[in-house]
Structure 1
Amino acid sequence: MSARDCRPDPRTLLIRRDDLDPVAWQVLLRDGHLVPLRDGVALPAGVVADPVTRAVALAPLVPPGCVVTRESAAWVHLGASPTAPPDGPVHVAAPRGTRAPRPRPGRVVTEADLSPHDAPPLGGVRVTSPRRTARDLLLLAPAATARTLVPRLRDVGLDLDLLHADVASAAGRRGVREATLLLSEITGRPTLAAA
């Protein structure tokens, strides 16, 4: 069996482990016909993953109405990173006030206030924008993770001036003081809230 015989996800060229016989999956990976993207998901050799491909790879772990957030959203936008491993649990947010999905292995669910601008769809999967992702990383992720990922999000359209304004407007919420100081450290300039 070759990579041509696999049934790729119709939205991308993704091939999931469950699409193949377990032995065929292992042989195609071993022989380099498939390249792992994340646990149980691969691409044909030579195909480069883009944000839509990475978003669709997470689709089975994103319940209807939920949004990919935090480190998982950074992985969708940026690709692999030591602080946002592709095989870690997928962070998703349910809209505040709705019933959160049941827990399941490989998924962490929180509640969040999200506007449609905060989480546009990528390949049919809603993912926080680079701006909202950076804000969430500053407020919710470990400082080392934010230090690594927030500067990289500039490469995919993050406007640091808008991020400074977002953090300043969140004054009074838990974690904002730490996020303000961390953003000042990352950008080398004081935020409005720290001034």
Structure 2
Amino acid sequence: MRPANTASGPSRRSVGQRRRTVAAPPPPPRTGLCAAWSHHAAELAVPIGAGLQRWEENPSVAAMVRDDLLARVLPGIFLPPDLLRTAVERALALGCALGGQLQSYHVIAGPSAAWVFLGGPPPSPAELLSSAHRGSIIGATVRTARLHPHEVETIGGAPVTSPLRTAVDLLRFCPDHVTVPALRGLLGGGHLTERTIWRQLQAMGRRPGARAARGRWEALLGGVDRAA
């Protein structure tokens, strides 16, 4: 009778048990411009990031902006206008311009959100909403706000306040010369209706700025209608 095999080494069962306990490798880190928002945004942002141009602010550059040869996204950071033709391009352009300052909780808002939807010259300053401490970004206004999921749309992997939230924020925080053209564009482009805006303002009750926004809407509505 042959002796039992006493060779050392793990059995098949023990190997299987070990394999089941091995942790999955962590996901690769996000890299690239706009990666703070999403991998999708980072992928779409590659050609836009390649087109970023940094110029010293001087009269010659200002003339190029006036002649639509350059678009100033943030102070000293420019893009050719043909890279800003779509809402996706405009949203990602702002993320690219922010570079390492961009955080996952930054949401494009206010005049910048209206620009994403409507196009035209990029607003100055840019505007972001943040659920965290707002911090400071040169060339941008960062406000702290709590946003509900239905108040944010994803455009090319970038978070942007919905047209309705955008309109309400314009009425709450922006001067007439910014608010009226943006509201006219949102209404004329079919993004919103007057009734939708009024219902939302009414539903805000006594939230900060709601009463003033309702008064501004009633005062501006005639101006918006005439402009449209």
Q: 2:170 aligns with which of 137, 155, 158?
A: 137
Distance in 2, Cα, partners of 1:70 & 1:48: 18
Measure how far apart 1:74 and its partner are: 1.0
**1:7-22 aligned within 5 A:** 10-11=43-44, 13-14=47-48, 15-17=51-53
Q: 1:41 aligns with which of 37, 58, 78?
A: 78
Measure how far apart 1:169 and its partner are: 1.1
> Normalised by the size of structure 1, how large is the TM-score?
0.70
Q: Which residue of 2 aligns with 1:88?
A: 124
Identity %: 28
Q: Which residue of 2 aligns with 1:54?
A: 90
Q: Which residue of 1 aligns with 2:210?
A: 176
Measure how far apart 1:65 and its partner are: 1.4
Q: Which residue of 1 aligns with 2:136?
A: 103
Distance in 2, Cα, partners of 1:101 & 1:180: 26
* C-alpha contact (below 8 Å) 2:112/2:123 kept by paired residues: no
Distance in 2, Cα, partners of 1:110 & 1:44: 28
Measure how far apart 1:150 and its partner are: 1.1
Measure how far apart 1:35 and its partner are: 4.2
Task: Establish whether residue 125 from structure 1 lines up as the match of residue 161 from structure 2.
Answer: no
Moved over 3 A (4+): 185-188
1:110–1:44 CA distance, 2 compared to 1 (3 A): closer
* C-alpha contact (below 8 Å) 1:100/1:109 kept by paired residues: no
1:159–1:183 CA distance, 2 compared to 1 (3 A): same
CA deviation map 1:42-67 (0-9, x unaligned) = 2475x661111110010143421120
SS at match of 2:130: strand
SS at match of 1:120: strand
Q: Which residue of 2 aligns with 1:165?
A: 199
* C-alpha contact (below 8 Å) 1:131/1:158 kept by paired residues: yes
CA deviation map 1:72-104 (0-9, x unaligned) = 111111112xxxx51512211112xxx325312
Q: Which residue of 2 aligns with 1:151?
A: 184
* C-alpha contact (below 8 Å) 2:201/2:213 kept by paired residues: yes
**1:1-12 aligned within 5 A:** 10-11=43-44
CA deviation map 1:130-180 (0-9, x unaligned) = 111001001111133222211211215113212111101112133322211
Unaligned runs of 5+ in 1: 1-8, 189-195
Distance in 2, Cα, partners of 1:44 & 1:159: 30
Distance in 1, Cα, partners of 2:109 & 2:103: 13
Q: Between Structure 1 and Structure 2, which shows a larger proportion of helix residues?
A: 2
- The root-mean-square deviation of aligned C-alpha atoms, in Å, is 2.8
Between the two proteins, the alignment pairs up a number of residues equal to 161
